[in-house]
Structure 1
Amino acid sequence: MTTSTPAQPTRRLPVMYFCFLISVLVCWGFYISTLTDISVLTSRWAAALTMVFGSFIAGSSPEGSAAISYPVFTLLLKIPPPIARNFSFAIQSIGMTSASLLILGLRVRVDWNYIRYVTLGGVFGLVLGTYYIVPLISPVAAKLFFVSLWLSFGITLWRENQKATRRVVDTIDSFGRPDQIRLALFGLVGGVISSIFGTGINIFTFCLVTIYYRLNEKVATPSSVIIMTIETLLGFFLHAGVLGDFSQESFELWLACIPVVVFFAPLGAFVITKLPRQLIARLLYGILFVQFIGAILVIRPSAPQLLLCALTLGAGLGLFAYIARLRRTATG
């Protein structure tokens, strides 16, 4: 009897990513060559430096780059929130697309049911939030609310991962109509969140699939990157093509950061494929904690705003602890 040697896996070359990379750099380089004054780039060095970290985190975690750029731009660089939000959509259309094409090219495992139904709800949520919610929201209060909520999720996920018996799955099995509705509804709310900050649907729905569905963080993270890519392309189109409020300042910031994010976002997506699940989870805990502390230090909230943080943190811990205790049935 002869035994055949198992075939070695073929090397996966992310052709789509390289084509996109070359196209972006050629178009960017051609446009820059037409400018008589490139101070528009050098004067935005702080934004480009911010996006080195922001785009890497966007590719390697369920946090979009706006989770870094939005607070830095609005609170440190004193850029108006609408400009920072529109920039976030624009720059993520490059960085997140790059990361997603690398994920698809390398055939990184994702959950397509998660992506499909969250995106469906997210489209409606983004449009709803853009037209009807954003004009009513105080950016500072909203930022404190959401960093507090994300911190409560990080604490809950950390507690869950301390359990030696915690079981994770690589796909949402026995996927039925209740799951479709649940993911679409979370996508709807996440889309509204993204309409305010330029990111949010990815981390909000990541909370659900990792806590309730016990989806492996190693699968949920690249899935959330693809979700945010679709959402950000729609957001960019809404503001630049429909509403027409994509300002010159947003454009200059975008132009300065394109050559940064086209490399660092996919680099983050590549690094995440090499890390074990527990290390990915620890990375996320750290990001959420630093994000919360950074917001507190920069915003310096008043007593009522601190109370909002405390109430949100407490309510979030209760909500996510309840979700974690639920036991999903085979029918959802």
Structure 2
Amino acid sequence: MASPVPSQQKRQPKQRLWIWFAALALFYSVWLYLVINQGYWQQTTENWPMAVAMLFGSYAAGSTPMGGGSVGFPILVLLFEQSASLGRDFSFAIQSVGMTSASIFILASRQPLAWAMLKGAMLGALVGTPLGIWFIAPFVPELWIKMIFAVIWASFGLLHLYRLQEITAHSGMTEISERWDFRLGLWLGLSAGATVAATTGVGIDMVIYCALVLLCRADMKIAIPTSVLIMAFTSVLGVGVKLLGTGLTPGVFEKWLAAAPVVALGAPLGAYVVAKIGRKPTLLVVAALCVLQYFWTVYATREQLGLGGVLLSVAAVAACLLALEKLRQLGARLVGYKTAKEEAGSEE
């Protein structure tokens, strides 16, 4: 068995949480200026249900490999019956606050990260996300956006419901080389940024997370903070691309104003709490909700899908699970490869 890379150093690095508090003070100053000085108080209070919904969404964003949009998207699209485009743009916008706040907290508290893969994924997302927003997302029908979200999140939920014990048992991380990790992150960031993130506003974090826990057998204390940072980067990038292009879908800004002050604290709180109580309880609840939202989506769109569409969505979930299982098997082979390489080196 390959010797794991320690997830934490024996001597804890010095935390710099004042950076996070300073960022929070800056954000709330800007928010108060918009709400009070610019006269957006009424629009903010009218959208209070989004603030309530994002109480849980922001906690999940900081404590699991799911962005806050993973809750915001189905709430808007399924419960409030808004367009999938609005759900996607809201996901980008709200995560640009919540996930960024959580990322600053993670960096300031010096949590361990898979830096090589993260750098590659950020570079890939930098290219893939704008290309996806410009050339792929505009041509994806609303129904497809809903089903892409439902299928991917159902697969993620099912994976954790039957593999959680194994995933949470990982310690350290199987590293082949920094160059290999960087290249893997680059291609994952490019492909996920251009497809799932550009289409739904979320998902690149889950792609990187799955690669880390299934392929690299990474400790969740490494995988989840890394996934938070890539989603924060992609969300800010997505909002910037949208604002410089066609703009955000009407209604996003008002909902963002209501939910932003909640997620700015909720996501870092999630990152802090799970460090104290563990991630299993939260992940089990979130995994179950991921599966539940799939059935909710299928039921809500059953007339549009028809029997053929429903069966196709089931097949898509099965295909995603098969791909994740293959990734897990490849991870086991990589562990064996590294073990053999280390044993050969020790014999020489």
User: Normalising to structure 2: TM-score of the pair?
Assistant: 0.83
User: Match of 1:111?
Assistant: 114
Shift of 1:95: 0.9
Report the CA distance shift for 1:228/1:9 in structure 2 as closer, same or farther (over 3 A).
closer
Is contact 1:194-1:200 (8 Å) kept? yes
Report the CA distance shift for 1:163/1:40 in structure 2 as closer, same or farther (over 3 A).
closer
Shift of 1:191: 0.5
Shift of 1:314: 1.7
Shift of 1:35: 4.3
Q: Secondary structure at the match of 1:274?
A: helix
User: Match of 2:187?
Assistant: 185
Alignment of 1:92-107 (within 5 A): 92-107=95-110
Coordinate RMSD, CA, aligned: 2.7
Alignment of 1:216-255 (within 5 A): 216-240=219-243, 242-255=244-257
Match of 1:285 among 287, 293, 299: 287
User: Normalising to structure 1: TM-score of the pair?
Assistant: 0.87
Is contact 1:67-1:199 (8 Å) kept? yes
Shift of 1:47: 1.6
Alignment of 1:93-242 (within 5 A): 93-162=96-165, 168-192=170-194, 193-240=196-243, 242=244
Match of 1:50 among 49, 53, 56: 53
Shift of 1:77: 1.8
Any unmatched runs of 5+ in structure 2?
A: 1-9, 342-348
User: Match of 2:260?
Assistant: 258
For residues 75 and 170 of structure 1, the distance between their equivalents in structure 2, rounded to whole angstroms, comes to: 39
User: Match of 1:320?
Assistant: 324
User: Match of 1:306?
Assistant: 310
Is contact 1:218-1:277 (8 Å) kept? no
Shift of 1:220: 0.5
Q: Partner amino acid for 2:328?
A: A
Any unmatched runs of 5+ in structure 1?
A: 1-6
Size of the aligned set, in residue pairs, is 323
Shift of 1:98: 0.7
Report the CA distance shift for 1:244/1:275 in structure 2 as closer, same or farther (over 3 A).
same
- State the identity %: 29
For residues 227 and 10 of structure 1, the distance between their equivalents in structure 2, rounded to whole angstroms, comes to: 22
User: Match of 1:268?
Assistant: 270
For residues 97 and 165 of structure 2, the distance between their equivalents in structure 1, rounded to whole angstroms, comes to: 37
Is contact 1:66-1:198 (8 Å) kept? yes
Match of 2:70 among 67, 70, 76: 67
Q: Secondary structure at the match of 1:79?
A: coil
Is contact 1:89-1:233 (8 Å) kept? yes
User: Match of 1:4?
Assistant: none
Q: Secondary structure at the match of 2:136?
A: helix
Q: Partner amino acid for 1:170?
A: G
Bigger drift between 115-124 and 271-280 goes to 271-280
User: Match of 1:3?
Assistant: none
For residues 77 and 222 of structure 1, the distance between their equivalents in structure 2, rounded to whole angstroms, comes to: 31
Going by fraction, where is helix more abundant, 1 or 2? 2
